[in-house]
Structure 1
């Protein structure tokens, strides 16, 4: 029966053939790399030594798979003869142990190579070092988890696992490591791109470089394909958890039930492909000296070279007069060029030679010889002019117009680009809310744990703005926060993968927290960007429009999650992880896009100059305290209270609806609430063209308080409608608060934005308090927390409307437009006349 199975229902032949072929291919690449480094460069670096180690580990993993196919890997468990079982388990164990070290060695080789690319790009170097640490620390942790997957270790070789032993499901370990592998794959892929794309090289040269370093995308794709073959096992595991049918003693590695040798075989094969493709991609840049020596026409950009050499020669001839012509440039890489001064004569190629072609290297040498000739044949007092080699430097982009000097027309494109980010975090917020509820249902979590997940998300809003978010914002500006925030957000969505696989409350808590870190990093710069980019009298209008788009994202995502992503099956969390993987990849791409999108910035001096255009001086004091500092303190407190009230309404909404009107469709009614929330922001944006923002803010707070009080009583349709009105009046508060508090802050605008964003962490504080009241009394009584926090938050609009000095600062004036739309020189002239 075994032989018939091998012939008709065995994956062993294809696994064996593909694994062996990939090992042969990677071996060829490694050999060519060594020929290039030893024969041409005449030097082996640490990256080469790690690549040799990676190949040795790749050989071990590939051999374990090939041997495994001879003892049952690729067959169904029932088709594996009993005498093969021990050898099969040992081959599977050997592969599992060697897999992560092979990836670690390959990625370490690449990252060490990266560290030699640039000595001056500090951000790039630190990013490479951090990635290197993550690769090795995470890889070591996973390796030890796999080595000790069973206690005692020998139990991993037995089937079934003895009752006296304890084993961790190996499929769970594989899937849990997926985020680490994907994140580091993407980091290695994208890290060098900013340096490569900013180098001043001919188009062909730059294209070749980017393609060469972009081969790493295949590794990430292969990793995703590999994981797909483990999904069925993860689904079975999750169903076991829900049915409470896991074997006693935690021995979840029930191989007979899981048919491990059959479904894991293709995953093993794709793992071998991943390792060997990674080695081949890592070797490609190191093959450049070999290609340039024997196939120079592939890399040489002839037209650009001739043009550059002609220009350089013309410039030198102008310096020399009508002296002798330039020495000829070697026209073949096989001709030995003149020696170049070097501290180490044995070093024939530097790291830049890995990034440039022979003609690029020859040209500076020709210029150098011509320059020497000029010095020898001209007057001793003549200063020699050395042509500047501009092939390895970076483009000096002309400084853009400051956002505080832009007109309405000029601000349309940047405002639209940043508004896209508002939609993204609105979508993420709504999706996480729905996902929390789904996770609670699937994993039998309590309502208190669901509130904890929500609080973890908003806890990230407290940590990020006050730590690394502030550093990024202050040091590198608005756009840097978008890229950093998107990358962190993408990592958080990837961490959902092991959360779903493990059905772990702690893992999901971490995922929510990381997402909060990323989105808060976005928000510390996105909100002030919208408020500041354009004429200042329309700050509140612009921010309400962008926040309205964010609210639309909050409407779309829960409906999408409920209607499309989540099904009745127990495995829905496993299914939706593919959606999160897609969101993560999309976000990584978006981060790269925003790195290159031209967006305006504003320095502290420009922000101070914009603040000085306000007719009322920002130095006005009350009781020896500047008015702007009192406004900032009340604004931060108001945002803290508002976020707490808003999230309390959101988290208690299902319980509230179940109490006041049982049987009402929760998803549909909450969509109505989110729609009211979004509509109110658009209405406030239109109203801001006619009414002072401080009046609108006071009106919204008053309405939110009144309807929150009304929601504390009654049953039936009336309170269900009243809570919708709470959503409606909540909508514009954040935008109006944020934009008005920023007025007059000058060079302190960025710090004010950081504090206002950190205040959103009120969403982590008040929902747990309301949950405690709910457990003690009921959900309607818990609305006393909403009433209280909105009442405290209303202190800000009372202050804005009660102090004449504050009114003069926060009220927008159309007179500012003429100054704000002008150039800096015109602005200075206006200030001088004042």
Structure 2
């Protein structure tokens, strides 16, 4: 019964731990546990994309108003990643934030239950805002944890593989919605009532998972551990004040633009298909469009696994650059073409979107050292782009008038120029990572380090003998006074 032992939710952030040099074997269990979280918020995100269209039909609301779901969901992220979750992360540690995020997620799911039952769109937006705070908290901890838990040279591969399970969740959600919740279109009230049971099940599961996290032995990676990694790779930038970490702020900007474009495309996908894909029996139904969305999310998931495999042989920064460039290239024909051609172009865009979000997180955190936890909050706050770009896309779509099948006029297709513009803005970051030395050198030094691989744990504090040097200090195995890492507590304010 060693599993159910007393667990502490507070860790000193100014002291080195063995977690600084975790090997692949040592990192497997905590990484698997954290990967479960990626499926949870992938499922939640995928369900929102499907609900967006069906709220328009069932409740009779406009496209721009239905985007309030995305605004509530992603608008909560900066409140979590720069506020309560980041404060908990810097003062208590990763485990505390995992438990906090799961509890908020569960509370939001419980609030969603009566809102769906009584068809309250405003109430459901409040529930989604609470869920967004929970998932924002989980992302504030989970993304940087995956980036730092294990050998640094495999950081991008680790986070992309885990994020692939996020993609699986986004596939499962629209499939479940189209075959179970929304088999009948129109104003079927039972459709929304069916969804309530899913949110109740989610609440029960995440509360149970929070208990599992409390009792699980999760290694805590401290700021001192990250400072050690940055110093040993000679790529640390934490000698500069936080306000001068310009690579971090550029990564945050790229995350804002990219995530906004990704969320806008996924949120408008069903509208796009119903407007542009006309068959012999008429326009594609929302139910069929939801199944096509599941296929597109499947392409997104395949892209994550494929991108992770390619990163084993090609520098992650080059894979990042190519995938981001392809997003821009293939969204152009999605704007101009119609039918299966236009839809297939969106499939290709989602495939190339796959590795971008997690790679921005991994590369943006390179060299931050003692600023790692604080910096991760900024990068995750960039997810708030998902609250800004979808309303812009839907407002642009509403301004284009009605669909005209005869002329091929599709308001949603024309509005895809909005995410294209944000893709171009985000592309500046992979360009700098590959062609600006101040960016490229930091990324490459972490990609070649042998920390956690060769001579693993050689520098861990636990490998030092507890001999006394006569002055109250500790001697290492060679009789030399052991070095104690210390991170200025002022950075925690």
- TM-score class, shorter-chain normalisation, is 0.7 to 0.9
Aligned pair 1:813/2:448, yes or no?
yes
Match of 1:529 in 2: 145
Match of 1:822 in 2: 458
Deviation at 1:599, TM superposition (A): 0.6
2:24–2:150 Cα contact (<8 Å) kept: yes
Distance 1:632 1:815 in 2: 24
1:700–1:730 Cα contact (<8 Å) kept: yes
| 2:157 aligns with one of 535, 538, 541 | 541
Aligned pair 1:670/2:293, yes or no?
yes
Match of 1:770 in 2: 393
| 2:339 aligns with one of 699, 704, 716 | 716
Match of 1:633 in 2: 249
Going from structure 1 to structure 2, the CA distance change for 1:647 and 1:700 (only over 3 Å counts) comes to same
2:238–2:368 Cα contact (<8 Å) kept: no
| 2:365 aligns with one of 742, 758, 781 | 742
Distance 2:271 2:196 in 1: 27
Going from structure 1 to structure 2, the CA distance change for 1:449 and 1:395 (only over 3 Å counts) comes to closer
1:493–1:515 Cα contact (<8 Å) kept: yes
Distance 1:566 1:715 in 2: 25
Q: Cα RMSD (Å) of the superposition?
A: 2.8
1:535–1:820 Cα contact (<8 Å) kept: no
Match of 1:726 in 2: 349
Aligned pair 1:799/2:435, yes or no?
no
Deviation at 1:785, TM superposition (A): 1.1
Aligned pair 1:593/2:226, yes or no?
no
| 1:693 aligns with one of 316, 335, 344 | 316
Distance 1:423 1:617 in 2: 32
- Which segments of 5 or more consecutive residues in structure 2 lack a partner in the other structure? 401-410, 465-475, 484-493
Which deviations, in whole Å up to 9, do the C-alpha atoms of 1:724-749 show, x marking residues without a partner? Answer: 11101111001111101111000100
Deviation at 1:646, TM superposition (A): 0.2
Distance 1:647 1:755 in 2: 19
What pairs with 1:226-237 in structure 2 (closer than 5 Å)?
A: none
Distance 2:5 2:455 in 1: 37
Which deviations, in whole Å up to 9, do the C-alpha atoms of 1:745-766 show, x marking residues without a partner? Answer: 0010001110111110000001
Match of 2:487 in 1: none
Going from structure 1 to structure 2, the CA distance change for 1:628 and 1:534 (only over 3 Å counts) comes to farther
Going from structure 1 to structure 2, the CA distance change for 1:626 and 1:698 (only over 3 Å counts) comes to farther
Distance 1:649 1:464 in 2: 24
What pairs with 1:457-468 in structure 2 (closer than 5 Å)?
A: 457-468=73-84
1:548–1:681 Cα contact (<8 Å) kept: yes
Deviation at 1:567, TM superposition (A): 4.7
Which deviations, in whole Å up to 9, do the C-alpha atoms of 1:161-218 show, x marking residues without a partner? Answer: xxxxxxxxxxxxxxxxxxxxxxxxxxxxxxxxxxx9749xxxxxxxxxxxxxxxxxxx
Distance 2:51 2:432 in 1: 39
Distance 2:440 2:242 in 1: 14
- Which segments of 5 or more consecutive residues in structure 1 lack a partner in the other structure? 1-195, 200-393
Deviation at 1:552, TM superposition (A): 0.5
Deviation at 1:801, TM superposition (A): 1.3
Aligned pair 1:788/2:421, yes or no?
yes
Aligned pair 1:487/2:120, yes or no?
no
Deviation at 1:814, TM superposition (A): 4.2
2:53–2:271 Cα contact (<8 Å) kept: no
Distance 2:396 2:56 in 1: 21
SS at match of 1:646: helix
Which deviations, in whole Å up to 9, do the C-alpha atoms of 1:35-66 show, x marking residues without a partner? Answer: xxxxxxxxxxxxxxxxxxxxxxxxxxxxxxxx
TM-score w.r.t. the length of structure 1 is 0.50
Distance 1:396 1:491 in 2: 24
Match of 2:22 in 1: 406
Match of 1:705 in 2: 328
Distance 2:413 2:176 in 1: 29
Distance 1:718 1:442 in 2: 29
Going from structure 1 to structure 2, the CA distance change for 1:810 and 1:578 (only over 3 Å counts) comes to same
Going from structure 1 to structure 2, the CA distance change for 1:500 and 1:793 (only over 3 Å counts) comes to same
Deviation at 1:619, TM superposition (A): 6.2
Deviation at 1:823, TM superposition (A): 4.1
| 2:222 aligns with one of 603, 614, 633 | 603
Match of 1:473 in 2: 89
Going from structure 1 to structure 2, the CA distance change for 1:661 and 1:437 (only over 3 Å counts) comes to closer
Larger Rg: 1
Aligned pair 1:654/2:270, yes or no?
yes
Deviation at 1:806, TM superposition (A): 2.3
What pairs with 1:199-348 in structure 2 (closer than 5 Å)?
A: none
Deviation at 1:802, TM superposition (A): 1.7
TM-score w.r.t. the length of structure 2 is 0.83
1:697–1:732 Cα contact (<8 Å) kept: yes
| 2:127 aligns with one of 502, 505, 511 | 511
Deviation at 1:699, TM superposition (A): 0.5
2:17–2:225 Cα contact (<8 Å) kept: no
SS at match of 1:815: coil
Match of 2:234 in 1: 615
Deviation at 1:620, TM superposition (A): 8.7
Deviation at 1:546, TM superposition (A): 0.2
Distance 1:403 1:436 in 2: 42
SS at match of 2:448: coil
Deviation at 1:674, TM superposition (A): 0.3
Deviation at 1:781, TM superposition (A): 1.9
Structure 1, 405-414 or 807-816: larger mean CA deviation: 807-816
Distance 1:819 1:813 in 2: 15
Distance 1:760 1:641 in 2: 9
Distance 1:713 1:407 in 2: 50
Distance 2:457 2:269 in 1: 45
Match of 2:59 in 1: 443
Match of 1:560 in 2: 176
Deviation at 1:626, TM superposition (A): 9.0
Distance 2:43 2:64 in 1: 24
1:704–1:730 Cα contact (<8 Å) kept: yes
2:102–2:209 Cα contact (<8 Å) kept: yes
Distance 1:803 1:627 in 2: 20
